[in-house]
Homo-oligomer: A and B are copies of this chain.
Amino acid sequence: MGIKVTVWNEFRHEKSHKTVQEVYPDGMHVVIAKFLQAAGYEVGTATLDEPEHGLTDAVLANTDVLLWWGHMAHHEVKDEIVDKVQQRVLNGMGLIVLHSGHFSKIFRRMMGTNCSLKWREMGERHRLWVVSPGHPIVEGLGEYFEIPHTEMYGEFFDIPQPDELVFLSWFQGGEVFRSGCCWHRGRGKIFYFQPGHETFPIYYQKEVQQVITNAVRWCAPVNVVNFRDMAQAPHHPEPLEKIVIE
């Protein structure tokens, strides 16, 4: 495949909460990185407490698809790093935002909205229905799959209407949620996927791994030739066609 992936994790819950350590002793990023490696991608990781949050210019330049998991420390992510990630996405890097990453600075920045939602942590049942059955992100799935115990995220989810809505969720407590959403932004592509939590062992579930693996492929950059940097607004004083002003 040759797709280079960086899995970014806040990596705080795993250090401070014993129940989280039991599920993800080395951090969620390590579990995610492993199944993506097994799928044939080149995978690195980065975490909040590394210098520049592990997202140096060199790392970003070498990343085709960035995954993002954050929760308790969104506000600690530096704005200058968010700026750089945004520009990398607009210039082609794929971005996959997981679960509580809905409230990350980078996701809110890319969406232009609050990305707020309703939530509840009772460990209720969650069923994800496929509503775009020809989409490459559902490769290998059936018409739905279930997560036995999850945190509820409910509508209204304050996001732009997705360019492609892939999953709709049913929750035991009476809510629904747009749980798998695709957007095109500049030359990049973004996928938000609701499943995942620090204590429910959701990233070990086969279907969840399948979706994230598929999403990396969907998000991968497309090679275009001589496209301008998206931050530039070039002056074109020389028209392509002769202009006669009448």
B156-A184 in contact (CB<8A): no
Shortest distance between the CB of A139 and any CB in chain B (Å) = 5
B235-A113 in contact (CB<8A): no
* A135-150 with Cβ < 8 A to chain B: 135-136, 138-143, 148-149
User: Please, how many angstroms separate the alpha-carbon atoms of A159 and B240 in the complex?
Assistant: 23
A160 partner residues in chain B, CB cutoff 8 A: 160, 163, 183-185
Q: Tell me the number of copies of this protein.
A: 4
B186-A124 in contact (CB<8A): no
Q: Beyond A90-B114, A109-B112, A245-B123, is A168–B172 a contact (Cβ under 8 Å)?
A: no
* A170-190 with Cβ < 8 A to chain B: 170-176, 178, 183-189
* A103-142 with Cβ < 8 A to chain B: 103, 109-114, 116-120, 122-125, 127, 129-136, 138-142
Q: Beyond A176-B170, A222-B135, is A161–B158 a contact (Cβ under 8 Å)?
A: no
A129 partner residues in chain B, CB cutoff 8 A: 154-156, 175-176
User: Please, how many angstroms separate the alpha-carbon atoms of A154 and B103 in the complex?
Assistant: 30
A222-B176 in contact (CB<8A): no
Say yes or no: is A226 at the interface (Cβ < 8 Å to chain B): yes
A134-B92 in contact (CB<8A): yes
Per-residue 0/1 for A213-240: is the Cβ within 8 Å of any B Cβ (1 yes, 0 no)?
A: 0000000011111111011111111011
Shortest distance between the CB of A42 and any CB in chain B (Å) = 20
9 further A-B contacts with Cβ under 8 Å, apart from A130-B224, A142-B227, A143-B156, are: A90-B114, A111-B112, A122-B245, A131-B155, A140-B224, A143-B224, A161-B163, A170-B174, A170-B176
26 intermolecular pairs with C-beta atoms under 8 Å apart: A116-B228, A116-B231, A116-B233, A117-B233, A118-B234, A118-B235, A122-B239, A123-B245, A125-B241, A129-B154, A131-B178, A134-B186, A134-B188, A136-B222, A142-B225, A143-B226, A143-B227, A163-B163, A169-B176, A170-B175, A170-B176, A172-B239, A173-B236, A173-B243, A174-B239, A175-B239
